[in-house]
Amino acid sequence: MRGTTGDGNGTGPAVRRRKVLVLGSTGSIGHSALKVAKDVPDHMEIVGLAARSSVDTLVAQVAETGVKQVAVTDAAAAVRARELLPKDVEVFAGDEGLVELVRQSEADMVLVAIVGTAGLRPTLEAIEKGMDLAVASKEILVMAGEAVMGAAREKGVAVLPVDSEHNAIFQCLEGRSSSEVRRLILTASGGPFREAPAESLASVTVAQALKHPTWTMGTKITIDSATLFNKGLEMIEARWLFDVPMSRVDVIVHPQSIVHSMVEFVDSSVLAQLSHSDMCFPIQYAVTWPQRVVNSLQPLDFAKLASLHFEAPRVDVFPALRLAREAGEAGGTLPAVLNAANEVAVEAFLQGRIKFPGIWELVERVMQAHDQVAHPDLETILEADRWAREKAGEWS
């Protein structure tokens, strides 16, 4: 690995300094990634940034990091970025520009934090170049987990999870075989309506759905947390990341969001990973793995925590987990359809076209109408995605 040095006294592990390209740098994950780079500069250097349209934020990030390559997928925003950025900063435009940024980057790791399908092609390009992946965009593995993980294995590329839940499982497994695993147990905060009566959900407002009790996240993922679709997508993601069947992926509600996930092994022992709710923890571990590095993040005070609470999810009230399990078990193009229909349904709710329960009702309707294709290639996956968006748009 490039950028490794000794510790200066001939003992201890070498320091590995990752050159990281951040796709989705202006979102919450991107902001956290830049914090990590400042906190552990001997281990992480940002060498490229990509955003959709938040040009002012991107310009500030370029000034902070000194990167010379960026991508802006919105065409008008890319023009403005070229006007505002120094002349020696190369700006790639559009979805193809995102792929070209990866192709030309000197990074040895790509942090993928792009919401939706836009991250799929640059992810596959990064694998083709032999770059390790730090994956925060769950849609990539939901839509194309079989293809992405297969390509990564073929190229010897590490796929390191950044979602707090999957990063927790990754830490608990420590390279153990999936044959030793009885269950992967993803924790869920339960969202703002964890205890709400089922009959009250039809009157939920957008403002209420956006008040997450634990995490500060983007609009779409916050709504997904309220419906539990976020956790459903994570179930499918876990199935591919850790090579286990859907039947061995479970969800437990844990409102404090201190236990980020657990692994139950075949001997009935359970390992858990705990930390405060701060995305800097999983981002740092993905970048510095397999080393653990001193940082400025707040440690846990167990005396102050006092107690941790767990409860079963209300699958009858929030069907997202059932729909995700069905899609994950069926495989093929159905997970892509679930993901695409959910994106359209969330937008329809935000715009006031459907009620809150209409999100999962619309997703189920689109799933039931889909003619599934097993073991699809990339074009078939993208076609299923387009079809699902069109159908969901017609019916919302």
Decide: 278 and 215 in contact? Cβ < 8 Å. no
Dihedral of alpha carbons 20, 24, 26, 32, sign:
negative
- pLDDT of 154 > 90? The answer is yes
57 is in an annotated binding site: no
223 and 78 in one domain? no
250 and 226 in one domain? yes
385 is in an annotated binding site: no
243 and 114 in one domain? no
**Quick one: pLDDT at residue 310?**
97
341 and 268 in one domain? no
212 is in an annotated binding site: yes
178 is in an annotated binding site: no
**Quick one: pLDDT at residue 10?**
39
Angle between helices 219-227 and 358-369 (to 10 degrees): 90
- pLDDT of 52 > 60? The answer is yes
Split into its structural domains, the chain has a count of 3
- pLDDT of 12 > 60? The answer is no
148 and 17 in one domain? yes
Question: Which residues, other chains included, contact 343 with Cβ-Cβ below 8 Å and sequence gap of 6+?
Answer: 116, 220, 389
Convert the pLDDT of each residue in 16-39 to its tens digit.
Answer: 799 999 999 999 899 999 999 999
Average pLDDT, the chain: 93
27 is in an annotated binding site: yes
116 is in an annotated binding site: no
* pTM value > 0.85: yes
Convert the pLDDT of each residue in 341-376 to its tens digit.
Answer: 999 999 999 999 999 999 999 999 999 999 999 999
138 is in an annotated binding site: yes
What CATH number should be reported for the domain holding residue 105?
A: 3.40.50.720
201 and 149 in one domain? no
266 and 347 in one domain? no
**Quick one: pLDDT at residue 213?**
76
Residue 240: inside a domain: yes
186 and 145 in one domain? no
Residue 121: inside a domain: yes
**Quick one: pLDDT at residue 35?**
97
156 and 16 in one domain? yes
26 is in an annotated binding site: yes
100 and 23 in one domain? yes
9 is in an annotated binding site: no
118 and 178 in one domain? no
29 is in an annotated binding site: yes
143 and 58 in one domain? yes
Q: Which domain holds residue 356?
A: 331-396
The average pLDDT across 284-288 equals 95
pLDDT band at 55 (very low <50, low <70, confident <90, very high): very high
Q: For residues 225, 229, 234 and 240, what is the CA-based torsion angle, rounded to 10 degrees?
A: -170
Compute CA 244 distance to the chain's CA centroid, rounded to the nearest angstrom.
19
In the sheet that holds 69-72, the strands lie side by side as 90-93, 69-72, 44-51, 18-23, 109-112, 132-135, 159-161
Angle between helices 334-350 and 378-394 (to 10 degrees): 40
139 is in an annotated binding site: yes
- pLDDT of 4 > 50? The answer is no
- Residues 246 and 235: their CA atoms lie apart, in Å, by 7
234 is in an annotated binding site: yes
Label residue 354 left, alpha or beta by phi (over 0 means left) and psi (-120 to 50 means alpha).
beta
Residue 190: inside a domain: yes
